[in-house]
């Protein structure tokens, strides 16, 4: 059972980088050291878990998705989703980006499905961000949500018998 | 008839997005179309107070798509402000990394972003007119495209230790030499990459032949053009002089990029957060210019690599040697540049200095300000820093490629709207065309934040009393 835990966002844009904080806390649950930089690319061999952080989703991430049975994608949201910490299953569904370099979790899985004829069973954990100024310090409201998100991910992993 | 306003807005929820408003007049014709850009400028403020040597690691975080461009422009600004020109081997290695960036970025744009428009057709169902549809239509081509991008990224990874945020260039040089083994790994991907790019060029010209009517009425704009060139006015992407030509191809200026403020000024419109750079002596809008692949090829008299130089001749023939004005030929120019970048990788790897360990100049002669300019895949990227005696930054000015092309993107949208909206009934397909007009420039509008969610495109038709008449949406 291989698992990818992929957080993404801009760590320098306050709550947009909340995924990095979730990833960091989750890594420490497994005894891994707290990351010291934005670049997280760590394996927890005992459980076959790959922790990765990216500024944004990119198409090439799909090229390697066939290596994983499961994936947890972590991102910020800005309130369009009702739950402060929302967990949803991700299905392959390509969504065109009209103007910019923007890729969604669903699109990523769609590319994987097309390339590999397979994709990992995935969830998207999105955490409410409140402020997006130029700082790495989370807002108090979003900071409170980090441990909740970690707990929800652990629950999901337990249910999948990954943890 | 009541005047209408149409708004096309990708719904991002934080800054760094754009929307298009098309104002209809009372006769039901397009009066004017506007591209409103909420480009972030806050990153400059964020950098104030940081040490100059930190900047090559901080500024790549501006963008997940072209971090290498910011990394290298920042290091070049560091060279300049610290008075530490890199040894030749270090410049070669930086240039090698830059070529990797151009190959992977241009490759992704053509095959994964714009390619579906061209290969599957503008009017194909958006549900399949994307990279997934392309994968289904031509799996072999897609594998080649994937390998091309991987090759570019592998060059970046080998030099910078990572594919995304490299730690390589530092003021005065680079922190890692290239080994023979690494050189061999890069060379191994050369032949396939060249072949893939040739296929892309063939696709582009085939498409252009079949769609000549579209190309010739789709955002054909008169403007100036700007880009780096060498002393012979040949294409340069890493270093050189900035050359500015007018719409007829006549040279207006050729200047040291450090002096950009003497030549470029920025115009402000009340409907966009992004400024409009222009050539100072001509004023706005007469002095507007385009950058990026189209701007660079129009500016270049030749290319220093043989295959790309032959393609440049074919490109120049499109408009009988005069600047190519068709926005859709940005794609053609992009592929020619990709070919140049791939060929240049081999040139660099064949250079006797490429394996040298003389990669860092530690002698500094600091000055109060410094400029670093590079041709990022999307166009001219300028980093300008001011610092205190203890090398702490007091001011940062970044002019990003998308900024230079602000006028062109806006004009392209206006032109497309006027061409394809001929009456009060706005066709659903206008979304495709507007997207394509902007996408041709490969803009980077949302490179600061990417919170979760879709980016649907919404087109709203409003009458003069702001009442919603019609909505066209695509998720």
Residues B67-109 have pLDDT tens digits of 899 999 999 999 999 999 999 999 999 999 999 999 998 998 8
pTM score of the predicted model: 0.85
Confidence at residue B447, expressed as pLDDT on a 0 to 100 scale? 46
Judged by CB atoms within 8 Å, which residues 72-101 of A form the interface with B? 75-81, 94-101
Quote the minimal CA–CA distance from B443 to chain A in Å. Answer: 7
**Higher-scoring residue by pLDDT: B133, A126:** A126
Confidence at residue B454, expressed as pLDDT on a 0 to 100 scale? 37
Span B414-418, mean pLDDT?
86
Strand partners, A88: A124
> Which residues in chain B are closer than 8 Å to A57, comparing Cβ atoms?
450
Distance of CA B403 to the CA centre of its chain: 10
**Chain-chain contact of A102 with B447 (C-beta, under 8 angstroms):** no
**Chain-chain contact of B64 with A54 (C-beta, under 8 angstroms):** yes
Domains of chain A: 3-54+70-91+121-159 (3.40.50.1450)
- Residue B385 confidence (pLDDT) above 50: yes
- Residue B257's nearest CA partner among B237, B242, B279, B235 is B242
**Chain-chain contact of A10 with B112 (C-beta, under 8 angstroms):** no
**Chain-chain contact of B451 with A8 (C-beta, under 8 angstroms):** no
Q: How would residue A135 be classed by pLDDT, with cut points 50, 70 and 90?
A: confident
Quote the minimal CA–CA distance from B352 to chain A in Å. Answer: 33
Q: How would residue B139 be classed by pLDDT, with cut points 50, 70 and 90?
A: confident
- Residue B178's nearest CA partner among B100, B230, B103 is B100
> Which residues in chain A are closer than 8 Å to B130, comparing Cβ atoms?
94, 96
Highest mean pLDDT among A146-150, B46-50, B454-458: A146-150
Q: How would residue B467 be classed by pLDDT, with cut points 50, 70 and 90?
A: low
**Chain-chain contact of A95 with B454 (C-beta, under 8 angstroms):** yes
Q: Which of B134-143, B445-454, B457-466 has the lowest mean pLDDT?
A: B445-454
- Residue B165 confidence (pLDDT) above 90: no
| 3-state secondary structure string across chain B | CCCEEEEEEECCCCCCCEEEEEEECCCCCEEEEEEEECCCCHHHHHHCCCEHHHHHHHHHHHCCCCHHHHHHHHHHHHHHHHCCCCCHHHHHHHHHHHHHHHHHHHHHHHHHHHHHHHHHCCCCCCCCCCHHHHHHHCHHHHHHHHHHHHHHHHHHHHHHCCCCCCCCEECCEECCCCCHHHHHHHHHCHHHHHHHHHHHHHHHHHHHHHCHHHHHHCCECCCEEEEEECCCCEECCCCCEEEEECCCCCEEEEECHHHHHHHEEEECCCCCCCCEEEECCCCCCCCCEECHHHHHHHHCCECCCHHHHHHHHHHHHCCCCCCCCEHHHHHHHHHHHHHHHHHHHHHHHHCCCCCCCCCECCCCCCCCEEEEEEEECCEEEEEEEEECCCCEEEEEEEECHHHHCHHHHHHHHHHHHHHHCCCCCCCCCHHHHHHHHHHCCCCCCCCCCCCCCCCCEEEEEEECCCCEEEEEEEC
Q: Does A60 touch chain B (CB under 8 A)?
A: yes
Confidence at residue B6, expressed as pLDDT on a 0 to 100 scale? 59
Q: How would residue B468 be classed by pLDDT, with cut points 50, 70 and 90?
A: low
- Residue B210 confidence (pLDDT) above 90: no
Report the chain A residue with the minimal C-alpha distance to residue B442: A100
**Chain-chain contact of A60 with B146 (C-beta, under 8 angstroms):** yes
Q: Which of A15-24, B2-11, B365-374, B397-406 has the lowest mean pLDDT?
A: B2-11
Interface test with B, best of A39, A73, A96 (most B CBs within 10 A): A96
Q: Does B35 touch chain A (CB under 8 A)?
A: no
- Give the mean pLDDT of chain B: 85
């Amino acid at each position: 059972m291989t698992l990818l835990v992929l957080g993404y966002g801009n760590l320098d844009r306050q709550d947009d980088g909340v995924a990095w904080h979730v990833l960091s806390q989750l890594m420490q649950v497994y005894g891994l050291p707290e990351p010291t930089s934005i670049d997280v690319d760590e394996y927890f061999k005992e459980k076959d878990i790959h922790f990765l952080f990216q500024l944004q989703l990119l198409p090439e991430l799909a090229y390697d998705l066939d290596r994983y049975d499961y994936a947890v994608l972590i991102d910020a949201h800005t309130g369009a989703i009702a739950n402060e910490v929302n967990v949803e299953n991700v299905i392959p569904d390509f969504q065109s980006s009209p103007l910019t370099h923007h890729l969604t979790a669903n699109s990523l899985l769609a590319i994987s499905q097309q390339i590999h004829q397979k994709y990992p069973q995935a969830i998207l954990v999105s955490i409410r961000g409140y402020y997006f100024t130029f700082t790495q310090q989370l807002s108090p409201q979003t900071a409170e949500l980090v441990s909740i998100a970690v707990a929800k991910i652990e629950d999901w992993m337990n249910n999948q018998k990954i943890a | 008839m009541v005047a209408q306003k149409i708004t096309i807005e990708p719904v991002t929820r934080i800054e760094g997005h754009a929307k298009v408003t098309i104002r209809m007049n009372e006769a039901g014709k397009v009066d004017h179309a506007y591209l409103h850009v909420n480009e972030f400028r806050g990153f400059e403020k964020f950098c104030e107070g940081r040490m100059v040597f930190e900047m090559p690691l901080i500024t790549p975080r501006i963008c997940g798509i072209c971090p290498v461009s910011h990394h290298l422009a920042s290091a070049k600004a560091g060279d300049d402000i610290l008075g530490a020109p890199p040894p030749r081997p270090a410049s070669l290695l930086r240039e090698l990394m830059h070529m990797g960036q151009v190959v992977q970025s241009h490759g992704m744009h053509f095959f994964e972003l714009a390619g579906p428009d061209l290969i599957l057709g503008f009017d194909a169902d958006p549900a399949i007119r994307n990279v997934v549809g392309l994968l289904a239509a031509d799996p072999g081509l897609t594998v080649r495209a994937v390998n091309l991008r991987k090759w570019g990224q592998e060059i970046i990874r080998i030099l910078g230790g990572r594919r995304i945020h490299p730690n390589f260039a530092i003021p005065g040089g680079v922190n890692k030499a290239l080994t023979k083994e690494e050189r061999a790994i890069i060379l191994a991907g050369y032949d396939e990459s060249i072949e893939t790019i040739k296929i892309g060029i063939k696709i582009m010209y085939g498409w252009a032949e079949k769609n000549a009517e579209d190309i010739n009425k789709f955002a054909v704009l008169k403007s100036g053009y700007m880009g780096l060139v060498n002393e012979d006015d040949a294409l340069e992407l890493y270093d050189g002089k900035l050359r500015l030509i007018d719409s007829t191809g006549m040279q207006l200026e050729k200047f040291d990029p450090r002096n950009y403020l003497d030549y470029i000024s920025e115009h402000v419109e009340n409907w966009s957060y992004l400024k409009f750079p222009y050539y100072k002596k001509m004023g706005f809008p007469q002095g507007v210019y385009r950058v990026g692949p189209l701007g660079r090829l129009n500016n270049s008299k030749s290319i220093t690599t043989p295959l790309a130089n032959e393609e440049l001749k074919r490109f120049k023939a499109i408009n009988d040697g005069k600047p190519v004005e068709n926005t859709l030929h940005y794609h053609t120019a992009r592929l020619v540049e990709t070919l140049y970048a791939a060929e240049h990788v081999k040139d660099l790897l064949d250079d006797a200095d490429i394996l040298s360990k003389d990669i860092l100049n530690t002698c500094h002669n600091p000055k109060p300000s410094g400029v670093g300019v590079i041709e990022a895949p999307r166009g001219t990227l300028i980093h300008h820093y001011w610092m205190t005696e203890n090398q702490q930054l007091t001011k940062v000015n970044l002019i990003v490629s998308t900024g230079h092309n602000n006028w062109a993107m806006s004009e392209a949208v206006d032109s497309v709207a006027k061409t394809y909206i001929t009456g009060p009934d706005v066709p659903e397909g206008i979304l495709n065309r507007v997207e394509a007009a902007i996408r041709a420039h490969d803009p980077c509008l949302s490179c600061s934040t990417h919170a979760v969610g879709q980016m649907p495109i919404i087109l709203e038709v409003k009458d003069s009393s702001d009442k919603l008449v019609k909505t066209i949406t695509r998720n």
